[in-house]
Amino acid sequence: MAKNCAVLLSYGILGLDKKCVRQYQGYLNRFVKFSKAHNISEVIACSGYTNPKVHTSEAASMAAYIEPRLPGVRIRKEERSLSTPENISFARRYLDLDSAGRVYVYCDHIRANKVMWFVLHYWFGLRRRQIMSYFSDTFERYFQRAVSSEDMAKELDKKGYSYMKVSVVPDAKFHDETALATHQQISSTLEILDLYDKRMKKREKEIIRIRFGLKG
């Protein structure tokens, strides 16, 4: 039977910033709960040595916390990456997408859209236009249902993104920002990239018209 695995993104070295310990622990506790609910058999904790004064990686600090809370789950540490793109790029070598069951990437909801972008790029080799089409299709499905931007963002925070057997799972409780921030990040990404692709710019204009219920 194919086994489910999870890639866990970090937010610094746990315990280093005393003001954020409880918030960070809450994030990891929710991940533990998620892992148990989704039968995760292997976790790849991501991120390297980001503080020269501390001889531990972000991945190791998370692993030390979740390992006793996930007995029987294999915890692996990706300790080279220093950024979100590197998290996703370097985690790929630990994954066998062909034989794995479901693969979940767990992160905060503000980063979920760019995490999905990197997954599509690094793990599946999709080109820029293909990735833009993926997000455009996502937007279009919501706007055709006459869902507001705020409601769409809230639904995305709950459902995340999926492509084939990979899902990006947003933790909406980790930050205090409103759900609207998620929508703004996605739309900003598309708007910037539209500058370089006339066909996609036209497509986005069509989706905006659907969003506002405009004819023609």
The single-letter code of the amino acid at 35 is S
Please count the structural domains in the chain.
1
Question: Can you spell out the DSSP letters for 68-82?
Answer: GGSTT-EEEEE-S--
Where do the H-state alpha helices sit in the chain? 21-37, 58-66, 84-91, 112-118, 128-144, 149-159, 180-194, 198-212
Average pLDDT over residues 56-80: 97
Measure the CA–CA gap between 146 and 152, rounded to whole angstroms: 10
Using alpha carbons, select from 84, 139, 132, 150 the residue that is nearest to residue 111: 84
User: Over pLDDT 70: what percentage of the chain?
Assistant: 89
Q: What is the pLDDT of residues 3-49, one digit of tens each?
A: 999 999 998 899 877 778 999 999 999 999 999 999 999 999 999 99
| Token representation of residue 89 | 């790029």
Using alpha carbons, select from 187, 188, 182, 189 the residue that is nearest to residue 207: 187
Q: What is the pLDDT of residues 182-201, one digit of tens each?
A: 665 666 677 767 777 888 87
Using alpha carbons, select from 112, 119, 138, 114 the residue that is nearest to residue 211: 138
pLDDT reported for residue 210: 80
- Residue 192 half-sphere exposure toward CB, CA atoms < 13 A: 7
Q: In this structure, is residue 102 part of a structural domain?
A: yes
Q: In this structure, is residue 78 part of a structural domain?
A: yes
Task: Determine contact, residues 84/146, Cβ cutoff 8 Å.
Answer: no
Q: In this structure, is residue 97 part of a structural domain?
A: yes
Q: What is the pLDDT of residues 106-165, one digit of tens each?
A: 998 888 888 999 999 999 999 988 998 999 998 888 777 766 777 877 788 788 999 999
Q: In this structure, is residue 138 part of a structural domain?
A: no
Q: In this structure, is residue 20 part of a structural domain?
A: yes
| Token representation of residue 209 | 């018209």
Q: In this structure, is residue 107 part of a structural domain?
A: yes
Q: In this structure, is residue 197 part of a structural domain?
A: no
Q: In this structure, is residue 37 part of a structural domain?
A: yes
State the CATH number of the domain containing residue 69. Answer: 3.40.50.620
Q: Can you give the residue range of the structural domain that contains 156? A: 4-127+147-175
Residue located via tokens 């996930």: 70
CA end-to-end span of the chain: 50
Measure the CA–CA gap between 81 and 95, rounded to whole angstroms: 16
pLDDT reported for residue 128: 87
Using alpha carbons, select from 208, 213, 215 the residue that is nearest to residue 139: 208
Reduced to 3 states (helix: H, G, I; strand: E, B; else coil), residue 48 is coil
Mean of per-residue pLDDT scores for the chain: 87
| Token representation of residue 198 | 């006339």
Reduced to 3 states (helix: H, G, I; strand: E, B; else coil), residue 105 is strand
